[in-house]
Structure 1
Amino acid sequence: MADTLLDVLAGHRRAGRGDRPALIDRRRSVTYAELEGEVGARARELRAAGIGPGVRVGAVLTTLLDSVVDFAAATSLHAAVLVLQEAAGAAERSAALADFGAELVLDGEVLTRLRPTTAAGGRDPAFAMASSGTSGRPKVISREWAGTLHNSAAFARTLGLDADDTVLTTSPLGHSYAIEAGTLAVLTAGACQLIPAGPLTPARAALLVERHRPTVLQSVPLILDWWGRGDVPRAGTWKRCVSAGEGLPERAAEPWREAGLTVYDHYGNSELGQLTLNAAGGNGGVGHPLPGVRIKAGNGEPGPVEAAFPGLSPVRMEGGHAVPLADADGWVTTGDLGVLDDDGLWLTGRSDLLINIGGNKVSPVEVEAVLRTLPGVRDCAVVGRPGPSGDNQVWAFVEAGADEFDAAALRRRAREQLMTVKVPTVFRRVDALPRTGSGKIRRGLLIEDGD
C-alpha cells in the first residue's frame, strides 16, 4: 500500500480514476487528479517553508477542503502532524501544541513558527490527535503514520467503500472519527467525501442530500436520532450509515433501518484508530475486530478492553516528550470495559466512570440504557457525585421538556428494572447535555458542576 496521501492520489490517477470526485465542500469540489495537483503544489510550498521529515506541525482542519490539502501535503512530506479542531479554544489549542512539542502551526494560509525547527534526528512521520476530553483535559496521542493509514484502509474495506460511494461525514474534520474513518478511509478507497458547513438541521441536511446524493452517512447517535425523526433517512440514495462515539440506541437506528439502510455500529479510539464494525447497529454490540485488529476483553463478565494493531505503538505526548501507551507486545488498555464473545465485542462502560456505591460497582451505561426507554427521556447521562454526607451517589441528568419531567415517576420506573443500588438518587432535568464537537457527552462537566 502507498505510504503517503500523495501516493494514494497518484495511484487513483494511474488507475484511470483521476476524473472521479474526491472532495466536496460548500464552495467547490475537486477530482482525484485535481486534488493530486493541489497537494503536490502545496507540498512544494511547505517544503520551502521548512516542513520536512519528522518536523512537528500542528494543522487546523476546517470545513473547507483546503485544510485537507494542507494536511495531505504535510503528511506527504513525512512530517509529524497534530490535527487540531477549528472550534478548539485558544487555551486548549496552546496546551495541545505545547504537549506535542510543535515547531510550526498551519492554519489556512498562515504558517506560524513556534520555535526553531530542529533536525529530524531519527523522528519518524507521525499522526497525532488531541482527544475529545469528555472527562478532563484533552490528551495528545501520537502514533505512526503508516500504521494509521493502513488502519483506515482496513476500515474502508470492511465497510465496503468504493469509487461509487459519496460519504457524508458530520463530525468536525479535526476529530479522529471524521479524518480517519472519513477522509483517510474515503481517499484510500477512491470514494468521495462530502464535507458539510458545520452542524445541519434535518431540513438543511435533506437539501444537502438531495443535491449531492451521498450513499454513506458517518455520524454519531445524537445526529442519527435527530435526523431520523426528520425526513433525512428517506432523502437521496442512502445505502448505509455508521454510528460511532457512543452506543447507538435502537430507537435511533430504527428510522434508518426502516428506510432500507444497513446500520453499522463502530468502535474506535484515539490510541489506535478504528477497532470494530457491526452491521447490526443498535443491538448493543459494536461488532467484530477489523482485519489486523486484536482485542481482549472479559469472558462472560465485563473486563478491561485491550487492543492492538500491527505497526501502531501509540504514545501520549506530554511537554514534547513521548510516554508509551502500548506494552511490549503492542497491547493498549483502552479504558473501556466489555465482554468479547462469538457475536463480537459488547461494551459495558468506562473503567474510570464506574460508580462505587458501598462497594458495589454501578455501570452508568447500564443505568442509562434503562432510563432512555422511559417516557419523556430524550437522552440522559449518569455519573457519580458525592452526596451531603460525602458518600458517592448515582446522579442522572435527563434531557426532557419541563412539562414531561417527573423525577418521582422516573425513580419508580427505574426501580422496576434496576437493583436498588443502581437507581439514581438524584434526577436532574437539563435542556441539553454538554457535548463535544463530535457529540460525545462531556461527563466531566456533570461531575464537576451538577447544581
Structure 2
Amino acid sequence: MKLENQFSLEILVSKFNSKPALTIGESTYTYQELFELVQTAANRFKNRQGNVIKIVNKEPFKFIINFLAIIQTRNYPFVASFDRSQLSFKNTKLNSQTFFLGLTSGTTGQPKIYYRDWQSWKKGFDWCNKLFKLTSIQNIITGSPLTTSLGLHTLILSLYLGKNFCLLNNSCKSRCLKKTTALFAVPTFLLQRSNITENIPNFKKIFLGGGTLTPQNAQKIRCSFPQAELFEFYGSSETSFISWQKITRKKITSSAGQLFPNVKVSFGSHHEIIATSPYLFSGYLGQPSPRICVTDDLGVLKGDQLFLTGRKADLIDHGGNKISPFEVEAIVNECCPNCIVFGVKDSKLGQKIALLTTETTTKQLLVECLRRHLPSFKWPDIYLRTTKFPLSLNQKISRVQLAQAYERGEFNEF
C-alpha cells in the first residue's frame, strides 16, 4: 500500500543532491550519500511493512539513518527517549498517513504515545521558512536529543529545507559551522552549557522553546550572542508552534508572543490554553484524531499577544490556596536571576513553597523583594541553593523532579 502525503527522501535528493545534509562529528554527508546509507539500512526493515519499530537515541547517526530507513520501507518509527519494553504494538492499526509515533515526557502526568502525520509538520515548516527567513541559513543545528519533539522537529525541518543538520554536542566540530547557522534549543541548553557554543561565531538566528525565557536570561543570551537574531516560540509535542516572537530588545515577562499563522486559542474554565490549528498531532494511540488540543498550560490573550500564567500541574496547593510558581518567579527574578519555585509535600499545608537558586543571595533580600509585590501566603517557605539546576532527559527543568531531589536532600537550605 502506498503511503499518502508522506515525507519523501527521494524528492529531497533530487533537489539537493550534492549539498551537505548531515554533519556528525568530523564527517559530513551529502543528500545523495545520506540517501545511499538509508537505502542500505532499509534492507533490515523492508520485510516488516506496516509495523511499528522502536528506535532510541543511543547513537545519533544510527538513529537518523534508521528513522529514515523505517519510513522508506513503509513502516512507522516509534521514537522513545527511554526504554518502554512492556509496550506492545501488536494488532495496532495506524492511518496510512502516519509519519511517526512519539512518547511525551510525562512531566505533567503519565507518558503518552502520540502519533503525527507528515502534512501537519510540513505546513509548519513552510511557515517557519517564510516567517524566520531561513533561505540564507546553511546549517540548522540543535542541542536537544533527537528523541525529543524539538530535536526531531529540527532534524526534519533541516532536511526538508535542504540545509545541513548538526547535533550540537561535544563531538560537533566548530569548523563545520563556519557558514551561517541557526540554532534550535531549550533556554537551559545555552544558559548551562555555554562551553559548547562559545567557539561558534556564526549563529545568525537562535530559536528557543520548551522552557520559560525570563527577561534576565533573554538579556544574558543576547549579550553572549550579539550577532544573532533571538526568537522564542511556544508549543508542545502535540501542538507544534502555538506562538512566537522576535526578541530584539527587552523580553516582556510571561509573554509568549503572537499566535503562529492559522492558530487559534481559547481558554478553559481554569484558563487552560486550548489550541486549534493545522499543525496538531493526529491523536494519542488508540484514540481518535483531535480537533483541538487542551494543553496543561494556563494563559490569557491580551490583544494579539499570548501570555503564560503557569501550568496546571505545577500549581502549588498551599493551605488551600493555588499558588502559581510563575507568579512568584516573576517577582524574585527581578532581584535575583535564576530562581525556580516548586511545591514539596507537607502534612499540614498539603504543599510548602520552595525556592531554588544558583545565585549567591540572602533570604532577607528575597523576602524584601517579595514583600513589595506579593501577600505573605505566596512567599516561599523554604529557600534552597544549588550550583546547577538538574535537567530532565529532554534538557528542561522539571518541578516534579526538583521536588524529588529536595526530598533526597540534594539542595542546601539557606
TM-score normalised according to structure 1 size: 0.78
One of 48, 62, 68 as aligned partner of 1:66:
62
- Cα gap change, 1:405 to 1:254, in 2 (>3 Å): closer
Partner of 1:110: none
Partner of 2:344: 385
CA distance in 2, matches of 1:350, 1:450: 20
Partner of 1:138: 111
Amino acid at match of 2:355: A
Amino acid at match of 1:11: I
CA contact (8 A) 2:23 2:176 kept: no
- Cα gap change, 1:143 to 1:414, in 2 (>3 Å): same
**SS at structure 1 position matched to 2:313:** helix
One of 154, 161, 164 as aligned partner of 1:192:
164
CA distance in 1, matches of 2:262, 2:152: 20
Q: After superposition, where does 1:140-289 map in structure 2 within 5 Å?
A: 140-162=113-135, 164-180=137-153, 182-197=154-169, 200=170, 208-213=173-178, 214-226=180-192, 232=197, 235-258=200-223, 259-280=226-247, 282-283=251-252, 284-289=254-259
CA distance in 1, matches of 2:139, 2:156: 14
Shift of 1:122: 6.0
Amino acid at match of 1:371: V
Shift of 1:358: 4.7
Instruction: Give deviations 1:365-405, integer Å, cap 9, x for gaps.
Output: 12122222334x5x2322233435244332222234xxx34
CA contact (8 A) 1:156 1:185 kept: no
Shift of 1:153: 4.1
Partner of 1:11: 11
Amino acid at match of 1:288: Q
Amino acid at match of 2:177: H
CA contact (8 A) 1:245 1:439 kept: no
Shift of 1:128: 1.9
CA distance in 2, matches of 1:444, 1:374: 25
Amino acid at match of 1:241: I
Shift of 1:24: 0.6
Shift of 1:20: 1.0
CA distance in 1, matches of 2:138, 2:216: 26
CA contact (8 A) 2:355 2:382 kept: yes
TM-score normalised according to structure 2 size: 0.84
CA contact (8 A) 1:79 1:125 kept: no
Deviates more, 1:29-38 or 1:118-127: 118-127
CA distance in 2, matches of 1:72, 1:11: 13
- Cα gap change, 1:29 to 1:265, in 2 (>3 Å): same
CA contact (8 A) 2:139 2:181 kept: yes
Shift of 1:311: 7.0
**SS at structure 2 position matched to 1:361:** strand
Shift of 1:196: 3.0
CA contact (8 A) 1:144 1:311 kept: no
CA contact (8 A) 1:175 1:438 kept: yes
Partner of 1:112: none
> Does 1:304 find its partner at 2:272?
yes
CA contact (8 A) 1:62 1:174 kept: no
The share of aligned pairs that are identical, in percent, is 23
CA contact (8 A) 2:108 2:313 kept: no
Partner of 2:283: 315
Partner of 1:421: 377
Q: After superposition, where does 1:402-417 map in structure 2 within 5 Å?
A: 404-417=360-373
Partner of 1:396: 355
Shift of 1:194: 0.9
CA contact (8 A) 2:143 2:151 kept: yes
One of 290, 293, 301 as aligned partner of 2:263:
293
Amino acid at match of 1:192: N
CA distance in 2, matches of 1:135, 1:69: 31
Amino acid at match of 1:309: S
Shift of 1:236: 1.9
- Cα gap change, 1:407 to 1:136, in 2 (>3 Å): farther
Shift of 1:149: 3.9
**SS at structure 1 position matched to 2:243:** strand
CA distance in 2, matches of 1:157, 1:62: 34
Shift of 1:59: 1.5
CA distance in 1, matches of 2:37, 2:130: 26
Unaligned runs of 5+ in 1: 104-117
CA distance in 2, matches of 1:367, 1:32: 49
Instruction: Give deviations 1:98-126, integer Å, cap 9, x for gaps.
Output: 1xx346xxxxxxxxxxxxxx595866524
